[in-house]
Structure 1
């Protein structure tokens, strides 16, 4: 077992232990906590964020970051709403929104992969720019009145208690899990995260993989934005505003290194359950939304600092032994 594998397993074990504690506390607060409706509701209220977090896992492991995902979610939803208001058929509106997401992702990927600009700067510009375009489409208006079949995608159970959004999450989790941990693409992503030059010497087409990852990020963000619109039943220019904080927190708390090259989808899955249960518990305790956001922000800081502190401590101990 390598040091990286041991570290990941220890981090995942810590997440599992914390999850057990939080679930136990939540059960103590409410006897209805373990009910099927509450469990489904627990997922449903953050489902769009955790869908995007799955593809964000690939981006960060590859050594990059995408700060524009929430803005792409909002832009895709606004494009759909604007076209629908013009009288276009809803299926065509959805297709156009997904294509916009693909374009935004490819736009980011081009500047990062082919021009060589830092993804932090490129996607920060995208965060601001894509949100600005979304506001141009709708200004201060809220557009709703969508077909019932569209609203049902985000609101009504489709298979048993599961909504369409939760089914999308489950399928995407399986696909990304196989791609990351059981395919050549996954190996390429890890190699890129550990060093671009090493990846190039290993025969990895770095530019193509980066472009593909950012395009996929844009597409998934657009789909998540549409699901969010379906759940709310209306769209505004500030749709999904600030979601990137929670999304990145989920990934980093799951043990994915902010510097790339390490992490697992299992850790991200545990992080998802932990954060959802933590928010649910704070809701049961009547803790305000602002305080909940502060707690999530603190988790983001800890998820970056703690692994680095542990790694530095292990290096010091190893040096003393030698």
Structure 2
């Protein structure tokens, strides 16, 4: 069984156990909370999956979301209309992604080091922009969209835009030349360059896309939790990376599926929700997330090593080819 298929099966088992043994897990209100709380991770997981497949990573996504929310709150306090604020926040995401992408693709700096630096920088700018204020008086219709659900069902309104973005991401990654190029870059950047793929341009576009969806996540976060603060989405990058790697995306690049990544996102979200209902402390949940991150890195590697060892044993045990009889 492939790793992403195993994660999907594990998610199904976890859901069955949670419905059966965790009190109040199956009521509509809790399920809507589960989906709504998981959507920020799932949104950023879409471009992060493509970025990791291409051999890069962006650890500034949580800070970009926090900066977007802080700018949203500051502009709302200044009297600007929310319909104008949201495009400005998305443009801010483009700028953040461009900074990361240009430092990596044009200066040749490692994305891990670059985005650790911008993670701190963007969070600091967010604190400068909004300070310690908390903005909560956004328009009711936007708050209802961010946190509301359809009637008495468990389906949040925000799920539908996410499904549209998910469908687009699946098509791009698994059914277009762009997606095949991302896999080729992750497998061997030098070979991809010699085959005519515009490696730097494609990586830059992935960083920009990650920045835009991180900024969109910051807007959704502020509306979903009805609060814009500079520290919104703190630690979100850990959850995104853990979920993506848990879904079978190879951190070295070149391997993985978007379906596995989304399965990893909802596996992590369901586990955290079930632990919260069981009164497991937030600190313990962080420990579980860290352990899952280690397992998600080690698991596929151990599986590949076992498969290679079995293949070598089968090759060694195979009888030598018989020489053809002379005529």
State TM-score, norm by structure 1. Answer: 0.93
Deviation for aligned residue 1:314? 2.2
Task: Give the match for residue 303 of structure 1.
Answer: 296
d(CA) in 2 for partners of 1:66, 1:270:
20
Task: Give the match for residue 4 of structure 1.
Answer: none
Unaligned runs of 5+ in 1: 1-8
Secondary structure of the residue aligned to 1:217 is helix
Secondary structure of the residue aligned to 1:123 is helix
Contact 2:44 2:240 in 1 (8 A): yes
Contact 2:90 2:212 in 1 (8 A): yes
d(CA) in 2 for partners of 1:156, 1:31:
23
d(CA) in 2 for partners of 1:228, 1:80:
11
Larger mean Cα displacement after TM superposition, 252-261 or 309-318: 309-318
Tell me which of 109, 112, 120 is aligned to 2:101: 109
d(CA) in 1 for partners of 2:155, 2:266:
16
Task: Give the match for residue 55 of structure 1.
Answer: 47
d(CA) in 2 for partners of 1:13, 1:86:
49
Larger mean Cα displacement after TM superposition, 216-225 or 34-43: 34-43
CA RMSD of aligned residues (A): 1.6
Contact 2:38 2:265 in 1 (8 A): no
After the TM superposition, which residues 27-66 of structure 1 pair with which residues of structure 2 at under 5 Å, given as runs? 27-30=19-22, 32-66=24-58
Tell me which of 64, 67, 76 is aligned to 2:68: 76
Deviation for aligned residue 1:161? 5.0
How many equivalent residue pairs? Answer: 314
Task: Give the match for residue 21 of structure 1.
Answer: 13
Task: Give the match for residue 147 of structure 1.
Answer: 139
After the TM superposition, which residues 188-199 of structure 1 pair with which residues of structure 2 at under 5 Å, given as runs? 188-199=181-192
State TM-score, norm by structure 2. Answer: 0.91
Greater C-alpha Rg: 2
Q: Deviating runs (4+, > 6 A) in structure 1?
A: none
User: 1:269–1:79: structure 2 CA closer, same or farther, 3 Å change rule?
Assistant: same
Deviation for aligned residue 1:178? 0.5
d(CA) in 1 for partners of 2:240, 2:261:
11
d(CA) in 2 for partners of 1:32, 1:139:
38
Deviation for aligned residue 1:185? 0.6
Unaligned runs of 5+ in 2: 316-327
Deviation for aligned residue 1:158? 5.6
Residue 236 (str. 1) matches residue 225 (str. 2): no
Residue 261 (str. 1) matches residue 236 (str. 2): no
Post-superposition CA distance 1:197-232 (Å, at most 9, x none): 111111111111011100000000000110000011
